[in-house]
Every structure is written in C-alpha cells, then in structure tokens.
Amino acid sequence: MTTPKSLALCWLALILLSGCAGLAQSHESPRVSLVGIKMIDVEIFEQRYGLMLRIQNPNPEALVITGMSFKVEINERAFASGVSDSAVTVDGFGEATLDVEVASSLFDFVEQLRALEKRHGQPLTYRIYGKIRQAGSPFAIPFERKGRIGGPATDTPSDETIHAT
C-alpha cells in the first residue's frame, strides 16, 4: 500500500528528472574547430604543438568554459591529446579562440610521417573530439569536428580547412 508521502516523493523525482532531460535537449553542443597548428618543442620521446581552437556557441546563453580535454586525429590516426584549464566565456551565438598545447608520442609522430609520405600532396584530414567543462555544471559537454589541413575546403558544414605553420 502506497502512502501519500511516498507517492509525493515519486512525483517529485519524476518532475526533477523530466526537467533535467528537457534542459539537456534544449542546448546544442558547442562547435570546436582547429584553426592552426604550430610546433613548440621536439624531444626524442615527445613532441609538443600549439593549437588554436575556435569555439562557437550556437545557444542564446553564454558558455563559461572552465576547462577541456580533447584528442586530435590526422588521417584517421591518433596525433595528439591535451587538456586545458584556461577559462573562456563564449557569448550566446558568439565565438572565441583558445590557444592550447598538445603532446604527441614518438610512435604517433612516426606514424604520421609514414602516412604523409603516402599522401603525395593531398590534403590531410583531421578530427578533434573531447569534452568541455562548464562553470556551475557537474556534466561535461561532448564535442566533435572534422576538417582538412591544406587543400580546398568542402561544402559539408562539418569540414573546414586550416593551415599549419
């Protein structure tokens, strides 16, 4: 037999859960794209690169980023990974750039050189994916973007062209 108290608790739980589900569906993930790459340091076992990322907020509310973790693939192979605790605020329907550092292993670097030899001047493809941490939220926001390094841009909205320096 259910008591009015337990019935009220069940209704409260349902209301709270439905509110959270609606909140998650009403916001789009930010678009994070690779704008530039530069070599920072080369050691025997690790290489460090500077990446410039463009973060676009497709939502009306400001996005207050407190950190992020991400990975970069080039030509469908692991290239580098990184984390950043840089704080940046992206206005609603706005964009911002963020400079971050990534590390690549010797193995990943050699694999990329081998793949580059086989490409013979063709554009390289990239994929960047990870999670953004937002101020005041325990949940991470996932993101993923694909594009090209060098060569002509394509018409697909998820593809972009960047230039390495």
- pLDDT tens digit sequence for 88-103: 999 999 999 999 999 9
pLDDT of 162 reads 53
**What is the chain's length?**
165
Q: Residue ranges per domain, the chain?
A: 28-164
Q: Using CA atoms, how far apart are residues 92 and 73, in angstroms rounded to an integer?
A: 29
Q: Does domain 28-164 have CATH number 1.10.3720.10?
A: no
pLDDT of 112 reads 82
Q: What is the mean pLDDT of the chain?
A: 84
What amino acid is encoded at 2 in this protein? T
pLDDT digits (tens, 9 = 90+) for 44-72: 899 999 999 999 999 999 999 999 999 99
pLDDT of 122 reads 80
Phi, psi of 31, rounded to the nearest 5 degrees: -100, 120
Q: Which ranges of the chain have pLDDT less than 70? A: 1-2, 7-26, 151-165
